Structure 1
Amino acid sequence: MKRLGPMAALWLALCSGAAWTQQVPEGRSAPQASEAVKYLSGGAGDEERSQLMAQWPQFPLLIVFSADGGAYAVPDSVRIANAHGTSLLEVQQAGPLLMVNLPPGDYRVQARIGGTVQERSLHLGSQPQRLDWRM
């Protein structure tokens, strides 16, 4: 059985409106779900970034990861927990764009790159929110 390339998988998923749980090792941009939390991750190239950004209104949270110099960064892992500390989403090799479909509320986001772990508190309202995160 022939495997779809990352862009073909993204196109197919976007056209069908489907979210799937299969990991996409190279492209990381196909819609994915972790339990009930849907997310998109990817955006390394200009075309892929444009395709992802077109989907932003469907995802209340957009996190853009970058290094100190401004170049895009890809954290080793990202974890999002609710206000009670319950883990809702854990993504490996997330980004540099990570879009997450979460309801309004308070969250704790943790990103790990190399040996460094950073955390942010986040309040989501009813409007889509962008979080620019320098690693």
Structure 2
Amino acid sequence: MSKIIRADKYRWDVPLREYKTEGTGFRDITRQTLMGEGAGEERLNFLTRYFEVQPGGYSSLEHHEHPHSVVIIRGEGEVILDDRIEPIGLHDCIYISSHCLHQFHATGNEPLGFLCVVDRQRDRPQLPTEEEIRQLDANEVLRGRYRV
């Protein structure tokens, strides 16, 4: 059955969850799955999720086989995309390709909020290898800017 999930101040009437339940390398981030897990949504081939990173917080530095798209709907920050770091803000759209090492940082005074659309069936995130960390450290632009 078609439906509307109403929003109120960047919260929807779906469970608010921890970003991840294990591991480190992330700080002050939550998620909500808006579409794809609810009753009657089994035929969707994708999930639409909302992530919110508090000021000074960040997501995991990771990569995976599946690509995904991100739309910034709140705040400002920066994103690491392989060998570069880019400022991001309201309404920016980001395509993260397969095996692109990426990490989101909230740099403003308010949370960084973004919608993220991924395939329903997808692989698990992979953390950077020691070699990938060495490459990040060798990059003057990224040295000291990523978190693990």
TM bracket, shorter-chain basis: under 0.3
Q: State which structure, 1 or 2, has the greater radius of gyration over its C-alpha atoms.
A: 2
TM-score by length of 2: 0.26
TM-score by length of 1: 0.28
